Amino acid sequence: MFQDVPVINSFELIRDIYKIDRKTYKNNLDELKKRSSKRKTLVVEYTGSEPEIPDNMTPVEKKNGRLVITLDPEALPVSDAITYLAARTELTDVSVSGISPGYRFSRSGTVSDDAAT
User: 92, 91, 115: which is closest to 103 by C-alpha?
Assistant: 115
Is pLDDT above 70 for 117? no
> According to the model, what pLDDT value does residue 114 have?
45
Whether this prediction's pTM lies above 0.85 is answered by no
Torsion over CA of 93, 83, 37 and 33, rounded to 10 degrees? -80
User: 108, 44, 102: which is closest to 71 by C-alpha?
Assistant: 44
Mean pLDDT to the nearest integer, 78-106: 80
Summarised one tens digit per residue, pLDDT across range 18-65 is: 999 999 999 988 888 777 657 889 999 999 999 999 999 999 999 999
Residue spans of the domains in the chain: they are 2-37+100-116, 40-97
User: 45, 24, 12: which is closest to 109 by C-alpha?
Assistant: 24
Task: State how far the Cα of 18 lies from the Cα of 37, in Å rounded to an integer.
Answer: 26
Is pLDDT above 70 for 103? no
